[in-house]
Structure 1
Amino acid sequence: MGGISKSAIVLLLHLVITDKVFAADIISPIASEFKANRIVPDVIPFAPNGKLWVAYQSAIEVEFGNELTPTEVKDIPFVWWPWEMSPNEYYTLAMVDPDAPSRSVPTSRNWNHWLVCNIPGHHVVSGETIAEYVGAGPGEDSGLHRYVFLVYKQPARIVFNEPYLNNRSIANRTGFSIYDFAKKYNLADPVAGNFFVAQYDNYVPILYKQLGIKDIMSIEV
């Protein structure tokens, strides 16, 4: 009987330690950053645990809330997630702004800046672009906006029934919910993410002209 009790105690201790380690793994530093910057719950209910590498020209990297300028992020970045994967595994990449037109009055949350689906492995250029890339365009005096990148693993290659959005118009970009989109296509929770913040600079009027916005005070992206 004594031997059985000792074995039970050892097993119980093992389970307790395992639970603690597992819980520590869930609350990753990346998830903590998403919560501290209120991306959880403003954009998604649960944070990813994996880091998404995002780099713009001149080796400018996105690093969990660092401040970049609209000029620095005007072109499509290089995006990469590091784990090994098969080209038969497909992913969805999204970039959204939850702070349009401002963080204090986010009536256009979320603004869809970029959406690429059916990405084989991490080869973004081979994916299906649903929303062409539009860089940061926060309005003058609207403060810092958060720009959030998320990657979701797809259960398989998917036929996405969504309108194609080019980068010459703002049509169908406001009020986008990446959470609802993921739920609609059974994408579960994001597996990786990153984000930066930006505020107005002199590139913003150029971007608005590209998007066909005549009254730059009426819409902020």
Structure 2
Amino acid sequence: MADVQGLFKKHCIVPDVISIAPSELVEVQYPSGLKVDLGQELTPTQVKDKPVVKWASKDTEYYTLAMVDPDAPSRENPKFREWHHWLVGNIYGGDLGKGEVLSDYIGSGPPKGTGLHRYVFLIYKQPEKCDFAKIPKLPSNSGEKRGKFAIAKFAQQFKLGTPVAGNFYVAKYDDYVPKLYAKLKG
């Protein structure tokens, strides 16, 4: 079993994103078959499509999934921390298809010359079904309203507690990034 908590601390996800690391691993697999392995380096090309995400869920519980980049625009100057790439709430029984998409998936797009960015997946167990009516619904072709997000504040607002599962990878600029930016401009 991977040391999720240890690697979250080693890579400073604790305290940059959350104050308490999850103890369980969330499985993240991209359509190409590539699986995220805690802290490995991937390319924006490899992670451009929405992955399949699995964790030790209970059939009668609700969950929230978040994917955030705390290093926007760079780790040295994270003035947009956190940029959220994906946010799905009210996931019933671990079935993402039954969740409420608050922000549709956008793959990694670290700007040229900004080095490695951390991309963090977190799963929270909700105390009950949440009312996300006031949360803007963001499509996958828009980067609007994604910067300066804080999953810890969001979790506090909806009484989600600490994350139950997590995973992350790191990525830096590659030649897919300009294509992603063009898509985000519509």
Shorter-chain TM-score bucket reads over 0.9
> Does 1:93 pair with 2:62?
no
> Does 1:206 pair with 2:185?
no
Query: Hey, what's the Cα distance between the residues in 2 that align with 1:156 and 1:34?
Result: 27
- TM score, norm. by length of structure 1: 0.81
Q: CA deviation at 1:57?
A: 2.0
Give the number of equivalent residue pairs: 184
4+ runs of 1 displaced by more than 4 Å? none
Match of 1:55 among 4, 29, 42: 29
Query: Hey, what's the Cα distance between the residues in 1 that align with 2:100 and 2:63?
Result: 10
> Does 1:131 pair with 2:133?
no
Report the equivalent of 2:54: 80
Which structure carries more helix by proportion?
Answer: 1
For residues 109-188 of structure 1, what are the structure 2 equivalents within 5 Å?
A: 109-160=81-132, 161-188=134-161
Sequence identity of aligned pairs in percent?
52
* Structure with greater Cα Rg: 1
Matched residue of 1:61: which SS? coil
- TM score, norm. by length of structure 2: 0.96
Post-superposition Cα deviations, 1:10-52, rounded to whole Å, max 9, x if no partner, equal xxxxxxxxxxxxxxxxxx8211110000000000011000100
> Residues 97 and 148 of structure 1 are in contact (CA less than 8 Å); yes or no, is this contact kept in structure 2?
yes
RMSD: 1.2
Out of 156-165 and 31-40, give the one that drifted further: 156-165
> Residues 90 and 119 of structure 1 are in contact (CA less than 8 Å); yes or no, is this contact kept in structure 2?
yes
Q: CA deviation at 1:113?
A: 0.2
> Residues 57 and 72 of structure 1 are in contact (CA less than 8 Å); yes or no, is this contact kept in structure 2?
no
Post-superposition Cα deviations, 1:184-216, rounded to whole Å, max 9, x if no partner, equal 000000000000000111100000001118xxx
Q: Say which structure, 1 or 2, has more relative contact order (CA 8 Å, 6+ apart).
A: 2
Match of 1:69 among 33, 43, 46: 43
